[in-house]
């Protein structure tokens, strides 16, 4: 199981922060929303798919941005579960540049700038969703 993509991806699919974020977000929904959907003949699955999921887009977007940035910047887990250079992440590659040639600081800085570009891009694209999703479940009323 080591040295595969699933072992690098699966640990980041859930987190305590994600559970807390969605719990707080769903606590803000009024119970009358569910009751009125039931009166209209909506099943539980249809309620989740047709009503809850569209209303949860901001929380899902916030969690996606947060999870991507967290997983992208992870260093220790990929170092532990990968053995071959083909499966190593870019953060490990940058740290290996330091041990291979310590005189090449410009090469390391260029690598760090290239590593930061996806994180900044995802943050800029999802900034509104991230802020809306983080604060939507925080205030009741």
What's the pLDDT score for residue 138?
52
- Least Cα distance to 67 among 2, 141, 130, 111 occurs for 130
Note the pLDDT tens digit of each residue in 85-94: 888 888 888 8
Domain boundaries along the sequence of the chain: 5-136
Note the pLDDT tens digit of each residue in 111-140: 889 889 988 998 888 887 777 766 665 555
Note the pLDDT tens digit of each residue in 95-115: 887 765 566 778 888 888 988
Query: What would the mean pLDDT of 1-17 be, rounded to a whole number?
Result: 89
Domain 5-136 class, CATH top level? mainly alpha
- How high does pLDDT run on average in the chain? 85
Q: How far is CA 126 from the centre of its chain?
A: 11
């Amino acid at each position: 199981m080591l040295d595969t993509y699933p072992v690098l991806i699966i640990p980041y699919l859930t987190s305590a922060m994600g559970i807390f974020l969605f719990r707080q977000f769903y606590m803000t929904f009024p119970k009358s929303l569910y009751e009125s959907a039931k009166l209209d003949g909506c099943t539980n699955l249809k309620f989740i798919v047709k009503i809850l999921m569209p209303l949860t887009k901001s929380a899902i977007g916030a969690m996606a941005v947060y999870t991507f940035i967290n997983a992208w910047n992870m260093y220790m887990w990929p170092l532990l579960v990968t053995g071959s250079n083909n499966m190593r992440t870019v953060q490990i590659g940058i740290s290996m540049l330091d041990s291979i040639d310590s005189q090449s600081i410009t090469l390391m800085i260029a690598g760090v700038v290239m590593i930061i570009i996806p994180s900044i891009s995802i943050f800029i694209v999802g900034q509104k969703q991230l802020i809306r999703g983080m604060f939507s479940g925080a205030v009741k009323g």
